[in-house]
Amino acid sequence: MPPQSPHSLPDDLYSADAVRQIDRFVIDELGVDGFELMQGAARAAFRRLMGRWPDISPLLVLCGAGNNGGDGYLVAANAHRHGLEVHCIAVAPTEKLAGDARKAWQKALSDGVVVRELGDLDESELAGLFDQASLIVDAMLGTGVSGAPGGVFADLIRRTNDVPTPVLAVDLPSGLNATTGAAAGEVVRADLTVTFIGLKAGLFTGQGAAVCGEIVFDALGTGDAIEGSGQAPLAWLRFLDRIGSWLPARPANAHKGRFGHVLVIAGERGFGGAGLMAAEAASRSGAGLVTLATRPEHVSAALARCPSVMAHGIIHGSELGPMLEAASVVVCGPGIGTGSWGQQMLQQVLASEKPRVLDADALNLMAARVAVLSDRQILTPHPGEAARLLGCSVAEVENDRVSAAKKLQSTFGGTVLLKGAGTVIARGGETVDIVGGGNPGMATGGMGDVLAGVIGALAGQLDDMSRAATLGACAHLEAANLASRDKGYMGMIPADVIDALPSVFRPIEFPVPDLQEY
């Protein structure tokens, strides 16, 4: 069975509580038997297991106390019926099992699965089971767990992560918060996660983006029940190929004045590259005109690198007036510093009331002043900048990235793009965007400057700034993915992403007629 493309996943992402309510609706209101649903989940997980690792044996299946554990017992039963060697450990005592989880345990026993109680295993026996396993099935902790795993669960999660054995997580990796994507303690690092009923938001942001591996979704035939359950999505999962239609087609008589004039204000002494990268990224993302206002020392380098950018050396903020007047959107912050030069730049931008993208040091300066509300701004903080803006710790931001983005948006208005694995975009309202995918090669200085330039260019082409933020984040990620295929993760630099931008935008551009046809 080939890997499932993440682009085939549903758009709607739900909180853990919403998925439980949908599950409850299916059972109580639609009359679907809960044990039948559990069996369907186990079959779906086992199909994916066999598709990814055909004939792998022996399996080590770790089962908790709730319905997640019940799924595990039934996966073990499926594997045993197919002739695979199965070692099944009851992490929670089987005497405490109830409801469908108990039925699943009994079904596994009746099918011939040998279930061993964790408490009956000595250290050498337990270590031997982990060492012998060719695949570990994690069915210990489900969506109902929000805190740090403790006791035997924490120990088994550590053991799972310490062996070089592939892991299939049933519904979600144990220790991961299905709503927030946070991990308060130990969390299983899975190679494949098979999830059911409703797609959980926490699988795609924060730690979820790092520990789920390939994500496969199966609605178990309940897809039509979501609307009837009354549960609204917490987020929408976004990919570039799904939202490329947001970028308007370019007519044959297009001219540069129709696609925005981006003013990039960036580059204090020692940080000239930040402004240059943002300006060049804007040029590569379809901006009609790009002006760079930077320290005079950086103008020659800017012209040499990207002569299409109109570079101006600026000493004092009062010199920005004509450039701000001409601009349709302003990108301010990359490398401006927090000294007097940067303060002057930001002050002029805020006073102009032009549509703006505020990044990097502009956000650090804003954290030290009274919040400036505006519906015509996009803030692009990383978790550290978000923490300074909110007056909290980075850990608090990462513990609930969706809530942090929403709080920033309610404080500053406009659109907030919280960077990091599983970028979150909040625009007001209950539902946010989460950008699917992640790329470790993006963890290097200057990537945020490129993103700011891309968003600035798209803000000049779209009437909707929030759409510009989401489209820009998706395009930036796709460009980084494309660049990494050529350069690898460790050697990739922001310039590689800039170079990849035209190839990323090409598939969603208005097609140019082939003149040979005429």
Task: Could you list the residues known to form a binding site for (6S)-NADPHX, using ranges.
Answer: 67-71, 142-148, 171, 274, 335, 382, 449
Any idea what DSSP says for residue 442?
Answer: G
| DSSP per residue, 45-91 | HHHHHHHHSTT---EEEEE-SSHHHHHHHHHHHHHHHTT--EEEEES
Measured torsion, CA atoms of residues 333, 335, 337, 340, in degrees rounded to the nearest 10 = -70
**Distances from the Cα of 215 to the Cαs of 62, 117, 266, 427, in angstroms?**
20, 30, 39, 27
Main-chain dihedrals φ then ψ at residue 328, nearest 5 degrees: -100, -20
Q: What residue spans of 143-271 are helical by DSSP H? A: 151-162, 208-211, 225-229, 240-243
Annotated binding site: 67-71, 138, 142-148, 171, 174, 274, 335, 382, 419-423, 448-449
Query: Sheet harboring 261-265: ordered strands across?
Result: 12-13, 235-238, 432-435, 424-426, 415-418, 377-379, 356-358, 329-332, 261-265, 289-294, 310-313
DSSP string, 12-32: EEB-HHHHHHHHHHHHHTS--
Annotated binding site for AMP, which residues?
419-423, 448
Rounded distance, CA 151 to CA 512, Å?
Answer: 63
Contact call for residues 489 and 439 (beta carbons, < 8 A): yes
Rounded Cα gap, residues 54 and 216, in angstroms: 17
Diameter over CA atoms, the chain: 81
Tell me the pairing of strands 424-426 and 432-435: antiparallel
Spatial distance between the Cα atoms of 38 and 246, rounded to a whole number of angstroms: 40
Residue 92 DSSP SS3: coil
Cα–Cα distance for residue pair 425/350, rounded to 1 Å: 22
CB 367 within 8 A of CB 388: yes
Cis before residue 58, ω within 30 degrees of 0?
A: yes
Query: Which residues, including other chains, have CB under 8 Å from residue 14's CB and lie 6 or more apart?
Result: 22, 198, 199, 200, 201, 231, 233, 234
Q: Specify the DSSP element, H or E, that contains 417.
A: strand 415-418
Give the C-alpha separation, 453 to 203, whole Å. 29
- How is residue 517 written in tokens? 């046809």
- Known binding residues for K(+) are 68, 138, 174
* Torsion angle in degrees (nearest 10) through CA of 75, 77, 80, 86: 60
Residues 6+ apart with CB under 8 A from 481: 437, 439
Strands 289-294 and 310-313: parallel
**Per-state percent for the chain, helix, strand, coil, to nearest 5:** 50, 15, 40
